[in-house]
Structure 1
């Protein structure tokens, strides 16, 4: 059995490639509730009310896709050890270990998973003060759902190599993986191609969650699906599309896992379990198309050709 290369402490941030970077930056800062902390010629970095320098990075690209997913490690020494173990397992290491030359700083290493997703393991990122939680805006990113062509291989890699644990299955269609007490920070959905399904942002309470939905309605932005409450994870949900067509979710109340007591469950894929409240109805063809995204070749498309 493969020994995990590191102990992931939390999901830190997500970089999304989008063909509508400017419009999406305006959406996430003026409507969704994040704050721009830095802005460059090709994108922007946005934070929530939590203590992470940024939760979301938007990068201008010809087509939508995943830039990278960033996980927090405890120390630079853990980063060095993760890089050493990844190299020993012939997992591609594309940068580091070393200082991260990017907004948010830190000391990190970037590796590539079997479907070409770039994963950043980083410690000592820039500290920012947590903000007040009175407004109905997100704390930060809480989970990412990824479409995969081989759910078993994806689960094997993220559990065996990254030390994540399976919290629940939704039949053999979805797998929910955790790295701390949150029910899931990554979930995989069996699909026809590799892509981002959606990114979820934590609202502190159900009240914040509903008031956030109200703010979006005030701006003329209606949910693709929701509000409702999922069975797996026990969290509220309401899904929206950003200007680039990528799906973003408000959520609250994610189940907390007691490692000594939790039993992994296989949920049936029926409407009454996908939405315990019965308020959202089944997902529409439109939301399924948005969540399918477009085929994402991952790192192979990002890497520059050799000169």
Structure 2
């Protein structure tokens, strides 16, 4: 039974905290809603989540954690018991959360040593409907993780957290390179990419529509932010993409129109990544190549099997 409902937020630790905060709260279009000494919580204007990105100042660049939602505290307890019984290493047991919006949750390490949080009863944030041409993120769309063994990581998320496989990217030369995973009808809230080490591949942010997505892409280009791939439209998920690098080399994406599936009838497909129309249906993006792929390998994560301090 699937107990996870959606992706809540992605938390990053960064050495150059002020530069990152300026980027995410400035040109990227998030809103700082709370802060403490060296910690900032950033919300999307159109999302009821209290925040979708947390930045924390640290000597090391790392992915602090990925947070998913559950429907009820009872579901949180059930997941904690399920994981504990299966031998998954828990970082904390279910209890009250002291982050914005409160709630009830716990943390644990996934197969590759990333910290994952599951929570319920987090207060909803007052949000609004974005206006036409308003090119800031509506919500957090999905997160993609690099893993040395993508089949093992995919199986772990299916077995322990109830994620379902939506589609796979493969190629004649590299084999399977990405698994798209869902926890609701959205084509993917999580994807596992083949990488040389455990790290963050990219974080994706949903915009209001195609027009807003293009306005946002243009704003980032005019700001001098480096775009590594796009604009285009993927085949798997049918979503648009523009990939940029944040000031610390994390890949972040503007997207829109990610496919919603009929889960009762959907059957996962395998798409040949070496075919240009698979990576970009429109043919407008620069061709995918090894240099673009290496950018999204990111630096090896310094936080593997080390819980964040907050």
Q: What's the TM-score bracket when you normalise by the shorter of the two chains?
A: over 0.9
CA contact (8 A) 1:116 1:297 kept: no
The aligned residue for residue 84 of structure 2 is: 87
**Partner of 1:24 in structure 2?**
20
Determine the structure 1 residue equivalent to 2:240: 236
Once the two structures are superposed, residues 85-126 of structure 1 have per-residue CA deviations (whole angstroms, 9 ceiling, x without a partner) of: 111111111112000122332100111111101111100112
Q: Are the aligned partners of 1:24 and 1:244 in contact in 2 as well (CA < 8 Å)?
A: yes
Q: TM-score, normalised by structure 2?
A: 0.93
TM-score normalised to the size of structure 1? 0.94
Paired residue secondary structure (2:27): helix
- Shift in alpha-carbon separation, 1:303–1:129, aligned structure 2, 3 A: closer
Q: Give distance in 2, aligned partners of 1:202 and 1:51.
A: 14
Q: 1:303 to 1:34 in 2, by over 3 A?
A: closer
Instruction: Decide whether the 8 Å contact of 2:66 with 2:117 is kept in 1.
Output: yes
Q: Which residue of 1 aligns with 2:150?
A: 151
Structure 1 residues 260 and 69: CA distance shift in structure 2, 3 A: same
Contact 1:46 1:56 in 2 (8 A): yes
Find the residue that maps to 1:87 and give its secondary structure: helix
Which SS does the other structure have where 2:305 is aligned?
Answer: helix
Match of 2:173 in 1: none
Equivalent in the alignment of 2:103: 106
Q: Distance in 1 between matches of 2:198 and 2:185?
A: 27
Residue 157 of structure 2: SS of its match in structure 1? helix
Aligned pairs for 1:183-262 within 5 A: 183-262=187-266
Q: Partner residue of 1:129? A: 126
Instruction: Provide the aligned length of Structure 1 versus Structure 2.
Output: 300
What is the deviation of 1:272?
Answer: 2.0
- Looking at structure 2, the residues matched to 299 and 266 of structure 1 have their Cα atoms a distance apart, in angstroms, of 30
Correspondence 1:280 to 2:285: yes
- Does the residue aligned with 2:75 lie in a helix, a strand or coil? helix
Conserved? CA contact 1:64–1:246, under 8 Å: no
Distance 2:193 2:281 in 1: 20
How much is the aligned-residue C-alpha RMSD, in angstroms? 1.5
Q: SS of 1:126's equivalent?
A: coil
Partner of 1:300: 305
- Paired position in structure 2 for 1:41: 37
Cα shift at 1:222 = 4.1
Aligned to 2:140: 141
Q: Which runs of 5+ in 2 are unaligned?
A: 171-175
The 1-side partners of 2:308 and 2:255 are apart by 34
